[in-house]
Structure 1
Amino acid sequence: MTAVTAQRITSADHAREVAARLASEFALGAAERDRLRGLPFHEVERLAASGLLAVTVPAAYGGADLAASEVAEVVRILATADPNIAQIPHSHFVYLNLLRLAGSEEQRRWYFTRVLDGARIANAQSERGGATVAEVRTTLKPLGDGRFRIDGSKFYCTGSLFADVLAALVRLDDPGADSGLAPGEYIAYLPADTSGVEILDDWNALGQRTTGSGSVRFDGVLVTADQLVERSGAVRAPTGYGAFAQLLHVAIDAGIARGALTAATEFVRTRSRPWFEAGVERAIDDPLTIQRFGELAVAVVTAEATLTAAGLAVDAATIPDPGPEAAAAASLAVATAKIVADRAADEVASALFEVGGTRSAAADLNLDHFWRNARTHTLHDPVRWKFQHIGRAVLHGTPPPLHGVI
């Protein structure tokens, strides 16, 4: 486990204050880290030491137990500075939530305590080569002695290079006669340095370049039943599990949009020249530039407001026994927010060059990292399917599906 000594966050206000302070630090080197693909090991250590990674630990286990909306705001603040760092703990929060919803008392006590001490969890979930992204081919096989063997490969394992614990999605087809487990999908929580685990730094996307989203291979990895959590209790029930996970993605996109708008504003104020036909001395007095910034500001503020509304809906769906109506409302609210934030992030990050002019395209400035991050991150969970779920709810009264990705 990690050697970081973590502080304790005590309230939502405290969390926002710490997030804002870290964001001001992380923003300074974000463009350079992106240009050089400098992995943010130091910054992630700072994040873990700040206590922000433990804000969802329930109060009964010593955590701040922040609501989903507050966690999303922390992520949004970090994403305005560096969306790579904001995305790294996404799976950390998601798999802490799985423990809260479906883990045993012993599992919750063990992992929540480790996280309060600064431990970091990363995912090993997605796979290449399957018929769809939902297909799980990494196997979990009982050995008959209380242990299970994991074999398979994972891709897009965000945060894995910085992790103490990997949360690996596996499929159990034949649990054996005496394992006490049912067939199905499980999350295996295992130390990142477990024998047979290989973490590869092979992520090469055009954006979100420093998230540590490489591959993980499992070759004869041994686990015991106390490291396994069945997914169905959280994913196939109206728990708000998927809505919470998607809400954090919305927060990242909204943060990118705000960061791009801030960068565009600073550039136009300090470096841009007005178009000669405007008849003004400063770029910020060009009426067409003013108009465009008004449009971009509306897009960003709308994304932030929709994120806030979705966060409140997820809060209502993550109380004890929220009921299917609250869970459905949360998923639809988050789907709406995802569409709005997706558009804002891509539009504002691209418009930065439109309003900044030719000077803003200089390679040494690396202002394109906003657009590359937006374009890459918004590929998560295509918004065209969000429209489908919203439309079916409006026309047919059909609730969104329970599959953990809405």
Structure 2
Amino acid sequence: MTQSQELTPGAAPKVAVLTDERQALEAARAVAELAAKEAVSRDRARIYPLEALSLFSRLGLGSISVPREFGGGGLSYRTITEVFRLISSVDPSLGQIPQNHFGLIQYLRDEGTYGQQKSLFKAVVEGQRFGNGGPEKNTRHTREVLARLRQRPDGLRLSGEKFYSTGALFAHIVVTTAVDDQGKAVLAFIPQPADGLEVIDDWSGFGQRTTASGTVRLNEVWVNPQWIVPVPAEDKPSLRGPVSQLIQAAIDAGIARGAFDEACEFIRTQSRPWVDAGVERNADDPHLQADVGRVNVELSAAEALLRRAAALLDGIDPTQLTAEIAAKASIVVAEAKVLTTSVALKASEKLLEWGGSRATLSQHGLDRHWRNARTHTLHDPVRWKYYAIGNYYLNGVYPVRHAWI
């Protein structure tokens, strides 16, 4: 039996509800501690972090962003950001698996009806996880939708094929986009298992190896009309993009911190000094010390911008959201995302340089940091972040509204 065949979500176990930041951070540290034990071997053998993911849900971390009126934790974006950063510092694949779960919670907060929120948030509070049905597998770009939701004699039926379906393999509810008979894009929430719904374990990326971000096939899958949420107009103010990108940035910041901390430990305990340095320990090489200092400054700056972005989102009243406020939120998050991307790549590459040849030995698994950083930061190109930031400050042009800005 393959690993993917063993993954049947079934009923969610009884879980906690976390209403205090301290509780949430303690839970995140517990998940991180468990995940750290076999992070290298899981990456090497592509073994999923199922035990840590189960603990993530049981401890109540999956519902910390659900509003308290629906039984959730109602915690701040600052807390959510720190939870993702802590977990991703030891295993960013584990951090990425619930990434879309939280993005979809935000989507429901922005666009769902009260009835939809009540029903779907109840499932989340009880421990169920959303999984991303992914963008289309073969289109011109990620926003083009080919999947179709058709009215049949026996109800609504959805057909299509998706990829980059992070979290779907581990999800209780798969969520995907389709175009209905009126030509409008909608988001459909589909409980697993479902006839005609197939989640295929075919993700082969060289980094983020255990996210299972592969294919979802839908063949005339029945969809409950009560669990269909329209996709809003592109110009409607929303926090979906900033929240999604904030979590992405937190994962990258976690990768950077994990790489930097492991680099310092490896320098102190494993690496040898360069022959011309004239020192006994590599950690006493002044050129290396200066290089470590430079990266530390950049990492501290990235983490500061991440906290600033979370604080800005926490200060927004969603009932008073305007195009101007939404644009500011996107730009501030984009500024953080630029630096977290840069330092994740730099710290993970410098780790190998600082450690020397022995840092490349497979027994250490240090290459996973760069592979994870390079893979995860490809979700949305930084060059478009710079463009959006510059156009905003120079010309007052608001960025486009979607999940990648």
TM-score, with length taken from structure 2: 0.95
Task: Give the secondary structure class of the aligned counterpart of 2:164.
Answer: strand
Shift, 1:68, TM fit: 1.9
Shift, 1:50, TM fit: 1.0
Q: Which residue identity does 2:386 align to in structure 1?
A: F
The residue aligned with 1:216 is 216
Q: Which residue identity does 1:160 align to in structure 2?
A: A
Task: Give the secondary structure class of the aligned counterpart of 2:271.
Answer: coil
Q: Which residue identity does 1:242 align to in structure 2?
A: G
Q: Which residue identity does 2:51 align to in structure 1?
A: H
Structure 1 residue 240 corresponds to structure 2 residue 239:
yes
Superposed, 1:28-177 pairs within 5 Å as: 28-143=37-152, 147-172=155-180, 174-175=181-182
Task: For residues 103-160 of structure 1, give each alpha carbon's deviation from its aligned partner in whole angstroms, at most 9, with x where no partner exists.
Answer: 1222111111111111011111311221222100011111255x21101000000011
The residue aligned with 2:357 is 358
The residue aligned with 1:14 is 23
- 8 Å contact kept, 1:199–1:217: yes
Task: Give the secondary structure class of the aligned counterpart of 1:365.
Answer: coil
Q: Which residue identity does 2:80 align to in structure 1?
A: V
- 8 Å contact kept, 1:316–1:322: no
Task: For residues 78-99 of structure 1, give each alpha carbon's deviation from its aligned partner in whole angstroms, at most 9, with x where no partner exists.
Answer: 1101000000001101111111
- 8 Å contact kept, 1:381–1:405: yes
Task: For residues 305-362 of structure 1, give each alpha carbon's deviation from its aligned partner in whole angstroms, at most 9, with x where no partner exists.
Answer: 1111111222234632222222111100111111111100000000001111111111
Task: Give the secondary structure class of the aligned counterpart of 1:277.
Answer: coil
The residue aligned with 1:311 is 310
Q: Closer, same or farther in 2 for the Cα pair 1:361/1:404, shift >3 Å?
A: closer
Superposed, 1:334-349 pairs within 5 Å as: 334-349=333-348
Q: Which residue identity does 2:354 align to in structure 1?
A: V
Structure 2 unaligned segments of length 5 or more: list them: 1-9
Structure 1 unaligned segments of length 5 or more: list them: 176-182
TM-score, with length taken from structure 1: 0.95
The residue aligned with 2:195 is 195
Aligned residues: 396
Shift, 1:224, TM fit: 2.5
Task: For residues 361-399 of structure 1, give each alpha carbon's deviation from its aligned partner in whole angstroms, at most 9, with x where no partner exists.
Answer: 112211100000000000011111111111111221111
The residue aligned with 2:7 is none
Q: Distance in 2 between matches of 1:38 and 1:82?
A: 12
Structure 1 residue 301 corresponds to structure 2 residue 295:
no
Which 10-residue stretch deviates more, 192-201 or 271-280?
A: 271-280
Q: Distance in 1 between matches of 2:186 and 2:373?
A: 31
Task: Give the secondary structure class of the aligned counterpart of 1:344.
Answer: helix
The residue aligned with 1:281 is 280
Q: Which residue identity does 1:85 align to in structure 2?
A: L
Q: Distance in 1 between matches of 2:66 and 2:382?
A: 30
Task: For residues 189-244 of structure 1, give each alpha carbon's deviation from its aligned partner in whole angstroms, at most 9, with x where no partner exists.
Answer: 011211100000000000000011110000010113101001206x6421211110
- 8 Å contact kept, 2:35–2:49: no
Q: Distance in 1 between matches of 2:63 and 2:270?
A: 41
The residue aligned with 2:13 is 4
Q: Which residue identity does 2:147 align to in structure 1?
A: T
Q: Distance in 1 between matches of 2:178 and 2:259?
A: 38
Q: Which residue identity does 1:18 align to in structure 2?
A: A
Task: For residues 33-91 of structure 1, give each alpha carbon's deviation from its aligned partner in whole angstroms, at most 9, with x where no partner exists.
Answer: 00000011222111111100000111101111112222111111111010000000011
Q: Distance in 1 between matches of 2:153 and 2:397?
A: 44
Q: Distance in 2 between matches of 1:369 and 1:132?
A: 28
Task: For residues 247-300 of structure 1, give each alpha carbon's deviation from its aligned partner in whole angstroms, at most 9, with x where no partner exists.
Answer: 100000000000000110111111111112111111111101111110111121
Shift, 1:17, TM fit: 1.5
- 8 Å contact kept, 1:56–1:96: yes
- 8 Å contact kept, 1:314–1:327: no
The residue aligned with 2:226 is 226
Shift, 1:26, TM fit: 0.9
Task: Give the secondary structure class of the aligned counterpart of 2:150.
Answer: strand
The residue aligned with 1:185 is 185
Which 10-residue stretch deviates more, 248-257 or 1-10?
A: 1-10
The residue aligned with 1:329 is 328
Q: Distance in 2 between matches of 1:223 and 1:240?
A: 26
Q: Distance in 2 between matches of 1:274 and 1:224?
A: 64
- 8 Å contact kept, 1:316–1:326: no
